[in-house]
Amino acid sequence: MFYLILVLFVIVGSVLTILTVQNLTTSVQLTLFSLKTPGIPSGLLIFLSFLLGALLLYLVALFSARHDQRRLRKLRQRVRELEQEKMQARSSQPLPNQPPPMNMPSGNMQPPMNMPPNMPPSGMNMPPNMPPPGMNMPPPNMPPPGMNMQPPSSQSKNPIQMPGMSGPMQN
């Protein structure tokens, strides 16, 4: 990329030099409002215009670089502040192996009351189909009481009728 820019710079510089040298003999008089310049070679005007453009570009780049430099300085300072805050936050956090510090109750508190193992916590309503605490639950493979779920026998007198089917289903 550097060589490409260098080649373009040499080509533009060569064209500008040839244009300036060939137009040194032709004089031009410029008029600005009511001011008139003496005869100036047009090649010199071309060269001065390119020189003035390069000078203005340099000044704009210089001011932009100073602005960027100030901004970078502020951003670096902000990064330092954030890194310090991060280090302070890490140092104030407890180590992972230690439990977090807890506020200890005063010495006049009574120990909690032991609840029987079958009792639900206070304020918790039991569902209506649950047996009262202390009763054993039926095994998981047994149906709940009141539901008789026996498979139909192969000798049942009523054939199974499926919706959307025209006749009884045969086994």
The 10s digit of each residue's pLDDT in 41-57 is 888 888 889 899 999 99
Evaluate if residue 155 carries a pLDDT over 60: no
Burial class (CB in 10 A: 0-12, 13-18, 19+), 41: middle
Judge contact between 149 and 143, C-beta under 8 A.
yes
Q: What is the pLDDT of residue 130?
A: 61
Evaluate if residue 40 carries a pLDDT over 70: yes
**What radius of gyration do the chain's Cα atoms show?**
48
Evaluate if residue 82 carries a pLDDT over 80: yes
| pLDDT band (50, 70, 90) for residue 25 | confident
Task: Kindly report the number of other CB atoms within 10 A of residue 23's CB atom.
Answer: 17
Q: What is the pLDDT of residue 140?
A: 61
Q: Please tell me the distance from the alpha carbon of residue 25 to that of residue 39, in angstroms, as a whole number.
A: 11
Cα distances (angstroms) measured from residue 139 to each of 118, 120, 126, 136, 144: 17, 21, 19, 9, 10
Evaluate if residue 168 carries a pLDDT over 60: no
Q: What is the pLDDT of residue 159?
A: 59
Q: Please tell me the distance from the alpha carbon of residue 41 to that of residue 34, in angstroms, as a whole number.
A: 20
Average of pLDDT values for 16-43? 86
| pLDDT band (50, 70, 90) for residue 144 | low
Per the DSSP assignment, residues forming a β-bridge with 35 are: 32
Average pLDDT, whole number, for the chain?
76
